Structure 1
Amino acid sequence: MKTNQIRGIIPAIVTPFHDDESLNEAELRAHTRRMLDAGVHGVFPGGTNGEFFAMSASERLRVLDVVLDEVDGAVPVYAGTGAVTTREAIELSVAAEKAGASALSVITPYFGAASQPELIAHFTAVAESVSIPVILYNIPARTGNAIAPATLGELSKVPNIVGIKDSSGNYDTILQYLDRVEGQDFAVLCGNDALILWALLAGASGSITGVANVHPETMVGIYESWKAGDLEAAKRYQSSIRALRTVFRHGNPNTVVKIATGLLGRPVGPCRRPFSSLSDAGLAELREVLDADQARGMR
């Protein structure tokens, strides 16, 4: 996979479950197909929206196998292979490469506090265990560990570390990352759906997005309109998801995304407990937002 292929709208797809929380492979295929039909530029199973943290290693690899089979080479498949320990991240990464993943997305270790030298050692060891591209994943609100811009500068020297997804929600972090890799063949991907257009305008390569599970064509529209130079259309697409994102204040964003996807008639099932419910007020607001979105023709 060439670095210049790391671009565009890459849905961090949800993992469909049956009501008993077992993997729903048929719906995983159907949901992946919806993303492809919407014109996405890649697919990312096993990320935060995919509930990797609630799944066993064997389940994570099975999801990857199913998605790879359904995609069948149409777009790159980014496999989430991060873990708390370097050993487990290496095991998952090696297995994902063997399965046929196009690239890996490796989240920072979580729960335990890691120093910046420890993060450098961790990511370097994972990258050196495989030959396919590695994309770092910064989401400090969830993991408690942030990749400092200076650390990114050091890690960008590792030959197959070719990108970073930033889900800090801090636009300045994206700008600092872009500064650190300026002039390099290195992809900075926006992980906060509210900032996609602004990140693209600053020099980002695209976005790994959770809202694409709900409105894939809208999210593709942000990128394609920007690429075509139609900033007014890009702004309309970008602003159209604001109401949905406002609902995130009612609970876990993954849960809101999955419930919203289900309410639109796509039976992706519940999140694994305890992350499976939304308050009555949150659910009512979500229904209202989705009704308004459908009335506007959002897809």
Structure 2
Amino acid sequence: MHFQGAFTALVTPFKNGSLDEEAYRAHVEWQIEQGIHGLVPCGTTGESATLSHAEHKRVIGICVDQVKGRVPVIAGAGSNNTAEAIELTRFAKDAKADGALLITPYYNKPTQRGLVAHFKAIAAEVSMPFIVYNVPGRTGTNVLPATLATMKASIPEVVGVKEATANLTQISEVMECCGPDFTLLSGDDFTVLPTLVIGGKGVISVVSNVAPKMMSQMCDAFFAGDLARARELHYALAPLCRAMFLETNPIPVKTALGMMGRLTPELRLPLVPLEEKNDACLRDILKKAGLV
């Protein structure tokens, strides 16, 4: 399976505390209509930390069913509990997802050897393409480029990484250590174009929930060799990217989709609605971008 281009880290719409299946299916459909290259249910943006296992599986199942093979689906299936990660990854495979996005164990803070052992244990039970999700800002653990190279060499399932360090030096070292056949995906909307320039394959994006066409067109322009157009879109997206992080993700992106009339912007505790001043700022940025 070829993972290239703009993949949206899908929000999970809720209504009165429950999954809003109708809004979720409509969101998936709109993403595909807008030219997105792939979809990622149950990532950080999908509030996976507050989904029950039954809901988690339901969200993946709905996404795969709605997509119907038109674009790849990389299902969030990670956990800080290796046994739980195996269970969720097995479900992702059974649901016919094309790959699994596996976060590095958070809170336990494993060593680099522990990280390798974690992914080996999952691969021993479930064989499918794995994208390692490296987001030290949320997990407290950084997967070093040399560790990714070890995983690539010893675990055939590890085909790539979602690098959410926003550290271009480290991102470059990942390419240096792992080579051009490793799928390097940006995990920060700010670093997509620089990541592509050094050999990255794309992005797992938050902002593409609200601007799927712009993000997918930026990737398309880059791969077509039109760097000027890619750069133009990079700067056009910049204010929106900043807006998505006015507060903790996915508070702003869900609020934005609510303003756009695409879903009810309901969050689960401990996430709370956007502060008033940030709400006004977000609306202003969306207006300037022609999205509301």
TM-score under structure 1 length normalisation: 0.94
Distance 2:266 2:215 in 1: 23
Displacement, 1:247?
2.9
C-alpha RMSD over aligned residues = 1.3
State whether structure 2 residue 179 is matched by structure 1 residue 182.
yes
Is 1:59 aligned to residue 59 of structure 2? no
C-alpha change, 1:219 and 1:268, in structure 2 (3 Å) is farther
Aligned residue in 2 for 1:234: 230
CA offset digits 1:194-252 (Å, max 9, x no partner): 11111111100111101000100010111011111111111111111221233355311
Contact 2:214 2:233 in 1 (8 A): yes
Q: How does 1:62-211 map to 2 (within 5 A)?
A: 62-157=58-153, 158-183=155-180, 185-211=181-207
Offset of residue 265 of structure 1: 1.4
Amino acid at match of 2:29: R
Q: Distance in 1 between matches of 2:236 and 2:105?
A: 34
For 1:120 and 1:236, how far apart are their aligned partners in 2? 39
Is the aligned partner of 1:216 residue 2:212?
A: yes
Gaps of 5+ in 2: none
Q: How many residues of Structure 1 are paired with residues of Structure 2 in the alignment? A: 291
What is the CA–CA distance in structure 2 between the aligned matches of 1:64 and 1:113, rounded to whole Å?
Answer: 27
- Structure 2 distance, partners of 1:188, 1:258, is 27
Task: Please give the secondary structure, in 2, of the residue aligned with 1:109.
Answer: coil
Letter in 2 for 1:69: D
Code of the aligned partner of 1:246: R
8 Å CA contact 2:206, 2:244 repeated in 1: no
Q: Is the 8 A contact 1:250 1:279 kept in 2?
A: no
Following superposition, which runs of at least 4 residues in structure 1 exceed 6 angstroms of deviation? none
| Counterpart contact for 1:15–1:268, Cα < 8 Å | no
1:54 shift after superposition: 1.1
Residue deviations 1:61-80 (CA, integer Å, cap 9, x gap): 10011011100011111010
Q: Are residue 17 (structure 1) and residue 14 (structure 2) matched?
A: yes
Does 1:257 pair with 2:225?
no
In the alignment, structure 1 segments of 5+ residues that lack a partner are none
Percent of counterpart pairs with the same letter? 37
Please say if residues 257 and 265 of structure 2, whose CA atoms lie closer than 8 Å, have aligned partners that are also in contact: no
Aligned to 1:276: 272
Cα deviations across residues 225-284 of structure 1 (Å, max 9, x unaligned)?
Answer: 111111111111111122123335531121111111111111143121221311111011
